[in-house]
Amino acid sequence: MLRITALDACGNYGYAGTHGGLLYLWELSSGRKVTGTQCFNSGRVSCVSVDSKSGAVAVTDGGCHVLLYTQDKVQAADDGADGRIPV
């Protein structure tokens, strides 16, 4: 069972964070799941926030980890790592 722990929406897209540390992107007009990515291996997503101007998505685990997703990379506030994410 999928346990949603955080939600946000921007434009035609909804963002859902889960108890298992996953972040899903949904197309609101069709209900189609666009993509999903594992944010945290050992914690739940506690907050999702989307900036409507830039499209950046901030995700936290309720502890000291924050990830900032942009269209072409993800930045982790705890270690500065970055890499590509599916869009």
Neighbours of 16 (CB within 10 A): 20
pTM over cut 0.75 = yes
Of 62, 34, 32, nearest to 47 by C-alpha is: 62
What is the per-residue pLDDT across 30-80, written as a single tens digit (0 to 9) for each?
A: 999 999 999 988 889 999 999 998 889 999 998 888 999 887 665 555 544
CA distance 69 to 76: 9
CA distance 36 to 26: 9
pLDDT of residue 72: 67
In the chain the domains, ranked by start, together with CATH numbers, are 4-82 (2.40.10.480)
